[in-house]
Amino acid sequence: MSNPVAGRLEIVSDAICPWCWIGKAHLDGALALLAAEGLTFDIGWLPYQLNPDMPEGGVDRRTYRTEKFGSWERSQELDAQVADAGRVAGVVFRHDLMARTPNTIEAHRLIRLAGADGVQHAAMERVFRAYFQEGQDIGSRAVLAALGADAGMAPLTLAAFAEGDAARDEVVAETLALAQAGISGVPSFLLDRHLLFSGAMPAERMADGFRRAVAILRDRAA
């Protein structure tokens, strides 16, 4: 008999946040450690837009980053730091392939809809890899629909995504609610809607944090 799940573990993230992809890699390691101990979770992903005012079509990444950080050289220094952290986590960044900084509302719609098909975790990974490693434009509905198919989303779900604005209102409302709740950094990790911590900490430390949180919530419920 399998062990009951320890709770609903949700990750607040943005699809263009490199630390969120690194955090997911560490999360997967932490979940494997805990599963070996009989501790499992329902996993979900919640939307957060780092650049909510980004034009719908996105912008040229070099221009955007140069303006944001004062120079392209400074942007490259920060990219190198991210790439180093990624290698430790086991993910490879290809900043040389990343031409545009997209608006992520469409990516968040896809991820939310993927939850209905039970493949949200896989869809989030596919979107991260498409942007950070393959240089794909994750602001494009056509690109995102193909990524959703890769992750195992159902044809009817993908049709709803591609043909209208399904889940857009929900994504906007959830983003606003999380911001109003005081979440301002990503990735952030919630267990049964209790904020545990933010940041892409190593798998062992993450696992320890989850263990402690489960113990505290179980004590409160006793």
Q: Domain spans of the chain?
A: 8-221
Q: Which residues contact 193 (CB under 8 A, 6 or more apart)?
A: 8, 10
Give the pLDDT band of residue 221 (cuts 50, 70, 90). Answer: confident
Give the pLDDT band of residue 222 (cuts 50, 70, 90). Answer: confident
Does the pLDDT at position 4 exceed 90?
Answer: no
**pTM exceeds cut of 0.85:** yes
Taking only the tens place, the pLDDT of each residue in 159-198 is: 999 998 999 999 999 999 999 999 989 999 999 999 999 9
Cα–Cα distance for residue pair 90/132, rounded to 1 Å: 13
Strand order across the 8-13 sheet: 42-47, 8-13, 188-191, 194-198
Does the pLDDT at position 1 exceed 60?
Answer: no
Taking only the tens place, the pLDDT of each residue in 33-43 is: 999 999 999 99
Instruction: With CA atoms as reference, report the closest residue to 34 among 209, 194, 197.
Output: 209
Residue 136, amino acid: Q
- Helices H, strands E: what count in the chain? 9, 6
Taking only the tens place, the pLDDT of each residue in 109-145 is: 999 999 999 999 999 999 999 999 999 999 999 999 9
Taking only the tens place, the pLDDT of each residue in 53-105 is: 999 999 999 999 999 999 999 999 999 999 999 999 999 999 999 999 999 99
pLDDT at res. 2: 59
In the chain, % of residues over pLDDT 90: 93
Please state which of the four CATH numbers 3.40.50.620, 3.30.565.10, 3.40.30.10, 2.50.20.10 is assigned to the domain occupying 8-221: 3.40.30.10
Taking only the tens place, the pLDDT of each residue in 6-42 is: 999 999 999 999 999 999 999 999 999 999 999 999 9
pLDDT at res. 184: 87
71 DSSP assignment: S
Is the CB of residue 110 less than 8 Å from the CB of residue 144?
yes
Does the pLDDT at position 47 exceed 70?
Answer: yes
